[in-house]
Amino acid sequence: MEPFTWSFPNGSTVSGILSIPPGSNYEPKFKPLIVGLHGGGYDCQYFDGDSRHTAKIASKGLGVPFIAIDRPCYGGTSSVLPIPPGSSFITESASRLHSHILPHLWTKYGMPEACTCVVLLCHSLGVAVGVATAAAHAKDETPEYPLGGLIVSGLGHQQHPDAVGATATVEDEPTAFITMPVEVKDKVMFRPGTVDSTILQQSERLNRPVPVTEIDAIIKAWIPQWRETWGAYVTVPVLFAMAELDLYFLGTQEHVEECVQACPRSKGVEGIVVRGAPHCMELSHWSSGWYARCFGFAIECAATYGYGGIVNHM
């Protein structure tokens, strides 16, 4: 995919990659602009691992624009550190997306490409930011972009007993970053036999440091209170997925059902367990199938939004 870096009038920047297919007679009548939010320890390249594990295949095949950004504090996107007292990494990142980044993406690509709405595709720690952004959008009486759907995977509130924790605390290092060794990271992101050796050859290239405050926010803000603080306000349709062999959060139907119930105002929440899949589905043998499901759901969201089925239609 093609890289980009943009600057805003307030001096902040956002970087990422994009796939904007040329128009054709086969593209959907109601077309979403899909925006990818990567997890911790990765950046936008997570959605473009190699030629076989990339959102570009579905983007080109279906004629749907796809943009993956570096979330705040990753890549060339401006930092939100240090976090103000009383706030969290999740809240500050969501505010940056809702107020600056997504309106810009919509104006620069969504409108010119005749898209119907934005659909967020979020993985792992990026889920927290995506859900918080959807909540902020629902509370905003005059949002500057139309949000039509939310796709999330790899983050819940029931932790796996073997989950790997942080090695530093935010009290000691409020602006610090930690980098997981590649050999350790691959063992928790994948299970043996779930990933091509070609992707493991990309592990060093894809590895990025994680803000300690992001991990701290997941432990202290997300896990205990995400349902009340953010999930309860989400109004758009949601596709919620957990990989069965996830080693961070439990990939069980019971856990998924609890997460589905956390969004009671949504126009419809679909919860699934992807059998046999590891945490990083986008880089695994499930990549093509998962992307096909995500793009299909996003197109459904755009169709629903397009004919006026969403209450907050702009």
Edge-to-edge strand list for the sheet holding 32-37: 2-7, 13-19, 66-69, 32-37, 117-123, 147-153, 238-243, 269-274
Name which of 93, 89, 117 is nearest 105 in CA terms.
117
Q: Is residue 311 included in any domain, yes or no? A: no
Q: Which domain holds residue 236?
A: 2-306
Give the pLDDT confidence score for residue 207 in this predicted structure.
97
Query: What's residue 172's pLDDT?
Result: 54
Q: Positive or negative CA dihedral for 178, 179, 184, 185?
A: positive
Q: Is residue 260 part of a domain?
A: yes
Residue 312 is assigned to a structural domain of this protein: no
- As a whole number of Å, the end-to-end CA separation of the chain is 30
Q: Into how many domains does the chain fold?
A: 1
Q: How far apart are CA 196 and CA 191, in angstroms?
A: 11
Q: Is 216 exposed, middle or buried (0-12, 13-18, 19+ CB in 10 A)?
A: buried
Q: How many CB atoms are located within 10 Å of the residue 226 CB?
A: 23
Tokens of 206: 């894809």
| Sign of the Cα pseudo-torsion (295, 303, 151, 41, in order) | positive
For residues 15, 140, 93, 182, the Cα torsion angle rounded to the nearest 10 degrees is -80
Q: Is 179 among the domain residues? A: yes
288 inside domain = yes
Query: Are 241 and 153 a contacting pair, CB within 8 Å?
Result: yes
SS3 of 99-116: HHHHHHHHHHHHCCCCCC
Q: What values do phi and psi take at 269, rounded to 5?
A: -120, 125
Q: Which of 269, 285, 265, 266 is nearest to 277 (CA)?
A: 285
pLDDT computed for residue 167 by the predictor: 43
**90 part of a folded domain:** yes
pLDDT, block means (10 residues), the chain with 314 residues = 92 96 85 98 97 97 97 96 95 97 96 96 98 98 97 95 56 77 93 96 96 94 96 98 96 96 95 98 98 98 81 39
69 located within any domain: yes
Whether 94 contacts 129, CB under 8 Å: yes
* Predicted local distance difference test score (pLDDT) of residue 131: 98
Phi then psi dihedrals of residue 120, to 5 deg: -90, 130
In a domain, 62, yes or no: yes
The H or E element containing residue 187 is helix 182-189
Q: Are 245 and 278 in contact (CB under 8 A)?
A: yes
CATH of the domain at 23: 3.40.50.1820
For residue 49, what are its two tokens? 């691992």
